[in-house]
Amino acid sequence: VASLAELDSVEAELELVELQISELLEKQAQLTRRKNALLEQVEETCNAAQPSSSLSSPSSSSKLSGDFPWSKDVDEHLKESFRLCKFRPLQLRAINLTLSGRDLFLVMPTGRGKSLCYQLPAVCSKGFTLVISPLVSLMEDQIMSLKSINVSAVMLNASSSKEHAKTVMAGMTDAKCPFKLVYVTPEKIAKSKLLMSRLEKAYKANLMSRIAVDEVHCCSQWGHDFRPDYKLLGILKRQFPKVPLVGLTATATSSVLKDCEKILCVSQPVTLTASFNRTNLYYEVRIKNDTSLNDIASLIKNKYKDQSGIVYVFSQKDAELVSSELQKMEVVAYPYHANMDPESKSRIHRKWTTNKIQVVVATVAFGMGIDKPDVRFVIHHTISKSIENYYQESGRAGRDDRPADCILYFGFADIFRISTMVVMENVGQKKLLQMVDYCQNVDRCRRSVMAVHFDEVWDGEECCQMCDNCHHKKDYTTIDITKHARQVLQILEMAASMDEKMTPLKVVESWMGKGPSKVRKMIQTTTLSRLQAEAVIVHLLQQGYLREDFSFTPYTTYFYLKPGRKAPLLKNQTHTLSMKIRTAQTSSSSSSSSSSEVKNLSLNSILL
Ligand code: ADP
Ligand code: MG
Ligand code: ZN
């Protein structure tokens, strides 16, 4: 127990260090912002003096952003070629920077419009833009959509025919410039001397206007999606130093970006980071219970009447089940999952896109290529496996920048279903626990939790009551759960003494006095309601008093609970443990649905 006390104090110290780190990160972010602001000033002064060679209209001497020599051209192409009415945050700045010849890293969440930041400059520049992209399917999508707006783009990859490759290579050095964008895989750059020699020629003829490296985090081994061939892309900037490079990614920490900078041999790039914060989305977590499905149906039929949305579920079976339940309650909902034939999938997708189906009940297979702007709600029937995943999935709401809701139903059993699903993933449990933490938390702004997660500085003012915790600020209390924790541990010890393993479900049942009578006699049962008991167990798991104990059979993986590393601390009579718990769940959207939760969660009387 002596070493445990030490563990406790080391953990306290660690917490302090983590606090200091976050303070330093904040300082780093401030300094980076300051640096970028200064760079911007410098660049504006430079601009007036020496316009870059890629300008398409005669230079004027204006220094103001928004009034560059190319501004008129950019604006025309936005409206006429790309048929968009205005820029989203950071797009114009990125475009102006790259048109002024600066190297640029652009970090912007998926779906916010990174591609425009090199496609539009490509159209406004002489020659062609070289785009490096990791996936042939991504390139095909882009080329298709560019074709539809009459922007000529071509692609070179491992399966390109000789004939096609020849045309592309010839076009690269053609001053008449038959295409504005050339998409290539990194493998091509790494392996094709022919391509490199062509690029060399194009460079000498001033026909390579820009290099865009999409998914630029793939360069770094510290990133989440390292590709060996990306490591070799430094050759581009070494051979073609005068060509501005723009690297794009949805997720990269500053250390990953630093690494990319080195690997790509760019010096002093400007980094623009779009906030992950989607100000138009309302984030809410509800406790999942027996009436949740009715709750969902009633939301869809009332609050979201005639509006488009997605319900995300855990499995294919759930997709079928939930959609048929919703149909019974007269919601026009259809399932979508990976196991459907491609034809049905695209039919559902099409009908939903054209508003013939109100709701798609989908597994995460429904994601790629969803670009419906007017999704007004994304409801999670089951938690996501990580905060990143949740951010992505819920982020499909409100792409038109108008208000939309992201509601997540947090269910006890779902935690363990997902836990066994991600059991093979390296940091799967850690990420899942962060997600659980997001759900269980009742006092911190949901946005601030995401901000910390995405390494972003949060000033606490930016939510504007657009999450349930900010909206119901004071509706929680802190309670002492030491006694409850001891009871749970006692159940596990008793089970261990009988050489038995307990699933979380079984622990809850026994604790509530629903187990076999011989067990009931050996333990203290609880007066907590089921939801409260579950919340306490989740908290113990998060805090390390309990931990997971997986068991594999040829067909399935079981999740059992066992005492965690902090469990022995509870033997110490002076050790106490508390948790914050919501006192009332007043729902902003539908009051009928929340009454059962209010009953279950108004627990002061029992717990205090
Ligand atoms: P990312 O690469 O950042 O994930 P994309 O470049 O693929 O995002 O763009 C996602 C969607 O956003 C595309 O359908 C694009 O047409 C749309 N989009 C981009 N910029 C704008 C804009 N300024 N206004 C409206 N829609 C835009
Ligand atoms: Mg993209
Ligand atoms: Zn908030």
pLDDT recorded at residue 1: 61
Residue 6: the pLDDT is 84
What is the total residue count of the chain?
A: 608
The minimum-distance atom of ligand 1 relative to the CA of 78 is 23
**156 Cβ partners below 8 Å, 6+ apart?**
164, 165, 168, 182, 183, 184, 185, 188, 195
Q: How far is the CA of 166 from the centre of ligand 3 (A)?
A: 55
CA of 117 to the centre of ligand 1 (A): 9
Ligand lying nearest the CA atom of residue 401: 1
Query: Quick one: pLDDT at residue 43?
Result: 66
Determine whether the shortest distance from the Cβ of 116 to ligand 1 is under 6 A.
yes
Q: Which residues contact 372 (CB under 8 A, 6 or more apart)?
A: 308, 352, 353, 396, 399
Q: Catalytic residue among 27, 35, 63, 114, which?
A: 114
Say what the pLDDT of residue 589 is: 39
The residue type of 24 is L
If you take atom 5 of ligand 1, which residue's CA is the nearest one? 113
Ligand 2 geometric centre to CA of 351 (Å): 25
Distance CA 104, CA 95 (A): 10
**What is the reported pLDDT for 34?**
78
Q: What is the pTM of this model?
A: 0.76
Q: State both tokens at 522.
A: 């050996």
Number of the ligand 1 atom closest to the C-alpha atom of 88: 23
Q: How far apart are CA 280 and CA 464, in angstroms?
A: 10
Q: Out of 108, 116, 216, give the residue to mutate to test ligand 1, the one with the largest number of ligand atoms within 8 Å of its CB.
A: 116
Q: What is the pLDDT of residue 130?
A: 98
**Parts of the chain with a pLDDT under 50:** 50-64, 586-608
pLDDT at 474: 80
The whole-angstrom separation of Cα 139 and Cα 133 is 7
Is there a catalytic annotation at residue 114?
Answer: yes
Per-residue pLDDT, 40: 72
